[in-house]
Amino acid sequence: MTTTTETYPMACWHTIATYHNQQIKRVNAFLKHWDLSHTNLEVLRCLHTTSCTSQKEIAERIQVTDGTISHGIKRLFDRQLITRQRKWKTNYLLLTEKGTAILQEVVPAYERFQQEQFAALTARQQEELIRFFDKLNPA
């Protein structure tokens, strides 16, 4: 199929969606070593950067559905990587020592993994890519 100005938006969407889906699969395969998923890691990272927060706030920050966050939090809770603390009517989530330890192990390896994923692009191209996505998704 030849791409024309009329089909560029669809071609762009297909390229972005395909890359995103493939990247999530790669990330999940990489994180399998620690029995984590991409969502699990993002929850741990979110909790690490805030003192404590609710499930709803985490879902909004990491851009996932209520179902996805519920499943991810259950797995982390079952593995004792996070704990709940109830204040008034809200359950807040906190990292446990075990959660902090696994995060400290995973993050450096994950950062190297992501560097490898973008090694085909120069630093300038990576900056341009960020600008393109910022332009498509203004705050």
Residues 109-124 have pLDDT tens digits of 999 999 999 999 999 9
User: Would you list the domain boundaries of the chain?
Assistant: 27-136
Look at residue 51 in the predicted model and tell me its pLDDT: 64
Look at residue 26 in the predicted model and tell me its pLDDT: 96
Look at residue 2 in the predicted model and tell me its pLDDT: 64
SS3 state at 50: coil
Phi/psi at 87 (5° precision): -130, 120
Look at residue 87 in the predicted model and tell me its pLDDT: 81
Look at residue 81 in the predicted model and tell me its pLDDT: 98
Name the fold adopted by 27-136.
Answer: Arc Repressor Mutant, subunit A (1.10.10)
Angle at which helices 38-49 and 97-117 pack, to 10 degrees? 120
The list of the chain residues with pLDDT below 50 reads none
Look at residue 5 in the predicted model and tell me its pLDDT: 65
Angle, CA 31 vertex, CA 124 and CA 43 arms, to 5°: 85
Which structure tokens are listed for 76? 């982390």
| Nearest alpha-carbon partner for 88 in 60, 51, 54 | 54
Rounded distance, CA 139 to CA 136, Å? 10
* pTM confidence score: 0.83
Rounded distance, CA 12 to CA 88, Å? 47
Look at residue 85 in the predicted model and tell me its pLDDT: 87
